Amino acid sequence: MHFEIPVDDEERAGRFYSSAFGWNVNPMPEMSYTMVRTTPTDAQGMPSTPGSINGGMFRREGNITSPVVTVDVDDIDAALEKIGSLGGSTVLPRQDVGGMGWAAYFKDTEGNIVGLWQNAPREGGTSEAAGTGTVGANDIGA
């Protein structure tokens, strides 16, 4: 699970959150995204404190204009299918994110936009998912 915060000015927002909360912000211009570390991480980059989460920031545009909570799933396609059968709708279908995994966004029955994340297989692992293209933050909600 992680969070994402849409911003109008990445540098300004990075300074704000870093100063206000001591968060470590790491711009990734090649992905039009800023990684945000709110808590220490382990060797795999996962939060080492139980119950804590890290996240990111991206330029506000398209359909995603407010903060998003993103839920980890084993299979994004199956999750989107189930969400649709329960009255939700896909906002952005599965997109490859720089070989790290896949992201998608859906609208729930209450009108909230929620993210989904599926990790890419670790070195030597397998996965049935295949990316549909590479997504950068500017593509989210397009």
One-letter amino acid for residue 84 of the chain: G
Q: How confident is the model at residue 132 (pLDDT cuts 50, 70, 90)?
A: very low
Lowest mean pLDDT among 7-11, 47-51, 122-126: 122-126
Q: Distance between alpha carbon 3 and the CA centroid of its chain, in Å?
A: 7
Is residue 17 a contact partner of residue 25, using CB atoms and an 8 Å limit? yes
* pLDDT tens, residue by residue, 13-50: 999 999 988 999 999 988 889 999 998 988 888 888 88
| Reported pTM | 0.71
d(CA 42, CA 123): 18
The average pLDDT across 7-11 equals: 93
The pLDDT of residue 125 is: 53
The values of phi and psi at residue 36, to 5°, are: -125, 120
The pLDDT of residue 94 is: 96
Query: Average per-residue pLDDT in the chain?
Result: 85
CATH C-level class of 2-139: alpha beta
The average pLDDT across 102-123 equals: 91
d(CA 74, CA 127): 9
Q: How confident is the model at residue 86 (pLDDT cuts 50, 70, 90)?
A: very high
The pLDDT of residue 64 is: 85
Percent of the chain whose predicted confidence (pLDDT) is above 70: 87
Answer whether residue 87 shows pLDDT above 80.
Answer: yes
Long-range pairs, 80-85, Cβ under 8 A, ≥24 = 80/104, 80/106, 80/116, 83/108
The pLDDT of residue 128 is: 44
